[in-house]
Structure 1
């Protein structure tokens, strides 16, 4: 907290911001920023390639969803990957996120609520642990018929923790930190009446995503990803971006 009265502080800040508004703007900094951004984007795209990975999936969704669509992004790695790897585009889809009290809880319910109040299609990008935490909200598919496309990143647990030193503690790590769910997404889809679609590669994702946006129900697109490869790829991207800046 700032130990100053709010009103005079904000007034002084507003005056400082507007003081030089009529002066010529030096575009050097903006040009340098855009150049760096373009070089970073090129390095990212080259490093990601066409492999079906979590960063590439995030990039694909944000690049291909129509402007009238809404992408609801789960906490943990999905929201980070969308922030890091979403390409710049004109008229992008709306992107929303919701952090529950425990981080990942309530994500599916949030996506259904967004879909119910949106004119365009809604897509949820979610991991397997987050799906399990709010699995009961899939009853919405049977009860209401609200349309939703769920893009499920199935990497066998909370993959974000593989980036931390604790991941080296094998037995304790898997049981108490990684917490793989052991759920079969196809059986989950059958239980809740979802349209299940396994997605083996990027080309299949593009086709399945396009078809799901026209589907009047809940579609579950199941994408298996590798946690070790995910950590490796993120580090490759960081190195590639650092090399061009």
Structure 2
């Protein structure tokens, strides 16, 4: 049984200026996106597109800028709507208090989709081509975010068997019960493993929208599994069928991914190798 190593959430402090580790992990996520997206420019079909629709590093930078806005706006609104709708309905101004914490991946994903729809429309690029470009570059950024969760000692796991070698006590939970380090599970599943699988899948040219569909299914399945080890939100607990809010949000995500993959297969029956 391990004890959570208390880590100062502030990485650097100079006078009143404090740089938090969580902010650094966000910067790492954006840096990883830039690195991977520039490599993605070499993949098909993006590498062979010429003329006005050609892909460039400027596209990567613009997509990242809009994506950051989508993550912040969508993540915050998603948390308010999915996890505490009654509270924020009576305290609407606190929706803007993002420094108090409270972000939702599913909301952030919807925000990114909207931002990339706007980008595709403004640049005259096919919407699904844009999302297929972005999807494999996302998981390592999610992994960086889970590192931030661990450093902050938040989103700890459910109670674990004390004999589990990596069971960990999180004093922040208000008890000394050994727990699953669910942040690490999510780092490995939704971050590293999803990245490896999706990057390998996307290296070959696929039918338009199938890479996006693979991301939806992959993340939804891995997050659903990880939620069995993650402590549910205290104000929600477990919902219908003994499932957490995170699991319920993953169900439509997986269903949408499967339907999208099948739709793409029927829409482009002879243009790709999936």
TM-score by length of 2: 0.25
Structure having the higher helix fraction is 2
Larger radius of gyration: 1
Structure having the higher strand fraction is 1
TM-score by length of 1: 0.28
